[in-house]
A and B are shown apart, each in its own frame.
Chain A
Amino acid sequence: MAEDRIRVVLAKLGLDGHDRGIKVVARMLRDAGMEVIYLGLRQTADTIVAAAEQEDADVIGLSMHNAGHLTLAPAMLGALRAADLDIPLVVGGIVPDDDAAGLEEAGVAAVLGPGATAEEVVATIRRVVRGE
């Protein structure tokens, strides 16, 4: 009867305070049966790494709306590598298509753009957790 629930750490990295989207995503994932550890605003790469370790996260989701994704997402990837953490990173928010391709090449597991639907969000999280 062992259970395997998907545990997702969701956070806003940096100063960006737009949290409407991430809160909606938190509820979507909860309603899809996942456990969402919501870290909220103004997190650093270090606080996210610490949370991911302690919470044994299956996936980390970051939301970005301030055009800082090209700096912040690679910084997050770097922090995960430095901590030797092999947890997929998903980035959502306002990320233009060409940037998304670059981020995925750099090691981001998936990018969810501004048009992503609830089904896409849930399916993407499940897919990256299963390692497909």
Chain B
Amino acid sequence: MSIRGAPVEELIRRAIAGDRRSTGRLLSLVEAGGTEAERVTELTPSPTGGAHIVGITGPPGSGKSTLVARLIGVASGAAPRPAVLAVDPSSPLTGGAILGDRVRMTGVDSGAFIRSMATRGHIGGLALAIPGAVRVLEAAGFDPVMIETVGVGQVEVDITAAADTTVVVVTPGMGDAVQASKAGLLEVADVFVVNKADRPGATGTRRDLELMLELSHVTGHEDADYRPPILMTNSLDGQGVVEVCEAIIDHRTYLESSGKLAERRHRRARFEVANRLQGRFDRSLADLLDSDPVRILLDQVAAGTVSPAAAARRLAQHLVPSEARAAGPQFS
């Protein structure tokens, strides 16, 4: 039976029943955005205490995919159905992409669900698509759900940070630790992994991380009770991977016992809602700026007869979506 054009409700029913094609199709709908994507998201509310969501990030070449493959292997013992969202950049020129992480993750025959996602040029779209995709995978019963991104851009860092547990992977030498610090990863990391630890410079990198962590703790890490462990792995032969898995589970246990899990979920909800609002705002702004009366106003700004600040003040009131203006701030 063809699943192209099947109604969203039907796809969700089948995905929950274990049909991977339907899950795959739902993810495409979420990725494509628009009204069908919203419909999918509305029908897949995040269940309370749902899947453990793990973000894995680090610079290119740090061995994230191979580590994820190993984690799948270890995780399969405890939770039978892990899923991975592997995010890679689209070509800025053509919008196309070559997604090759999957190869590195399928060494382990585990039945994991792996989905490759391209950033598709507009990073804001990704910020919407990822939480939507996570919901689909949770609804289909996958746990844990791992999100692998290259930790370079701010939005990618935000996406990773919106996980329950964030793992930052670096390699010895090459200033990875410094780069991670600059990218703001030190503040969001719950577990550090120094991968390829058989290479020279591994202990040095570990020391760098400890030092920077010490400093950031002093200057105010978000969580004073929790100290992110720094673990050494060699994902090629699997050394240290079990410990990483344990650290991820320990972090989740900590979140639950300390009440921080609710805080994280709140943060994630804020992130997701903010992004959706941002999307609406951007569309509304674009519509406004393209409207005929505003064109005239912009011409006046260009001619110097109206100041930019005055123009912005006059337009600001028109940006609030009409439905909100009518209802006022009552939400529940």
Contacts and interface: CB of A to CB of B under 8 A. Distances in A.
Main SS class of interface, B: mixed
Interface string B81-100: 00000000011011111111
B106 A47 contact: yes
Nearest to A131: B4
B32 A3 contact: yes
Given A54-B20, A55-B116, A56-B25, A1 B33 contact: yes
A56 B96 contact: no
A34 interface: yes
A4 B20 contact: no
Given A2-B32, A2-B35, A32-B94, A55 B100 contact: no
B35 A55 contact: no
A132 interface: no
A21 B37 CA distance: 36
Contacts of B284: none
Interface-central residue, B2, B33, B90, B102, by most chain A CB under 10 Å: B102
Contacts of A40: 100, 103
Interface in A34-92: 34-40, 47, 50-51, 53-56, 84-86
A54 B96 contact: no
Interface string B231-254: 000000000000000000000000
A84 B36 CA distance: 25
A30 B98 contact: yes
B34 interface: yes
B116 A2 contact: no
B98 A38 contact: yes
Interface string B13-24: 000000011011
B28 interface: yes
A31 B91 contact: yes
A86 to B, nearest CB: 5
Contacts of A37: 99, 102, 116
B191 to A, nearest CB: 26
Contacts of B115: 54-55
A35 B24 contact: no
Interface string A12-30: 0000000000000011011
Given A3-B120, A51-B102, A55-B24, A36 B97 contact: yes
B279 to A, nearest CB: 9
Interface-central residue, B25, B90, B97, by most chain A CB under 10 Å: B97
B197 to A, nearest CB: 26
A31 B99 contact: no
Given A37-B99, A55-B116, A56-B24, 13 more contacts: A2-B33, A2-B34, A4-B32, A5-B95, A5-B96, A5-B120, A34-B96, A37-B102, A37-B116, A39-B103, A40-B103, A50-B20, A53-B21
- A-B CB proximity, top 7 nearest: A2-B34, A30-B96, A56-B24, A40-B103, A56-B28, A2-B32, A33-B96
